[in-house]
């Protein structure tokens, strides 16, 4: 019988790799390429097609990451670690997860999709620049937490 904790960790890491790796791809490759399109109206169309497909994948990945993360913390009874400065990356992981979950499941369907579509047509340069900046911020925060997770889970604490 497989060790459920190991399976949870494998699924957790796989979910993070797919999710944050996708964010990195969108941020560093797709957005800059789309911003170079000659026709601004094509930018919105292409970005929505790519981002829409990735959003479905990211939703599945974030659900898996959330469920497996909760399972591992519960199984280890590690709730007290969330209050230690040396384990800053634990609440950091939750904060990043909550932020992306909020964007993917609440903000995007409620208004971000409509906002992007409208502003992407009327002010394509400004809109794509803002979207790219926001992606860079989200990616930088995510990668900072990932560095903290890997370092901290292997005994290298900053505090």
Look at residue 2 in the predicted model and tell me its pLDDT: 64
Look at residue 108 in the predicted model and tell me its pLDDT: 93
Angle between helices 4-25 and 40-76 (to 10 degrees): 160
Mean pLDDT of the chain: 92
Look at residue 6 in the predicted model and tell me its pLDDT: 95
Residue 137 has pLDDT above 90, yes or no: yes
Write the pLDDT tens digit of every residue in 95-136: 999 999 999 999 999 999 899 888 888 888 888 889 999 999
The full set of domain ranges for the chain reads: 4-153
Look at residue 13 in the predicted model and tell me its pLDDT: 97
The burial class, CB within 10 Å (0-12 / 13-18 / 19+), for 58 is buried
Distance, CA of 66 to CA of 77 (rounded, Å): 16
Read off the DSSP letter of residue 38.
S
| Alpha-carbon distances of 5 from 11, 68, 76, 136, 144, rounded to whole Å | 10, 9, 9, 33, 25
Nearest Cα neighbor of 145 from 10, 5, 16, 58 is 16
Look at residue 42 in the predicted model and tell me its pLDDT: 83
Q: Taking residues 60-84, report their average pLDDT.
A: 97
Write the pLDDT tens digit of every residue in 9-34: 999 999 999 999 999 999 999 999 99
Distance, CA of 138 to CA of 141 (rounded, Å): 5
**Contact indicator for 18, 61 with CB cutoff of 8 Å:** yes
Look at residue 159 in the predicted model and tell me its pLDDT: 63
Look at residue 107 in the predicted model and tell me its pLDDT: 95
């Amino acid at each position: 019988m497989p060790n459920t904790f190991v399976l949870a960790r494998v699924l957790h890491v796989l979910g993070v790799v797919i999710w944050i790796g996708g964010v990195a791809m969108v941020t560093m490759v797709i957005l800059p390429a789309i911003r170079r399109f000659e026709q601004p109206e094509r930018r919105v169309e292409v970005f929505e097609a790519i981002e829409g497909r990735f959003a479905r994948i990211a939703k599945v990945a974030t659900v898996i990451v959330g469920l497996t993360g909760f399972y591992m913390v519960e199984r280890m009874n590690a709730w007290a670690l969330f209050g230690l400065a040396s384990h800053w990356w634990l609440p950091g992981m939750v904060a990043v997860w909550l932020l992306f979950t909020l964007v993917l499941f609440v903000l995007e369907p409620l208004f971000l999709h409509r906002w992007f579509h409208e502003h992407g047509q009327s002010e394509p340069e400004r809109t794509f620049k803002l979207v790219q900046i926001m992606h860079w911020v989200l990616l930088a925060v995510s990668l900072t937490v990932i560095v903290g997770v890997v370092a901290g889970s292997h005994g290298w604490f900053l505090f």
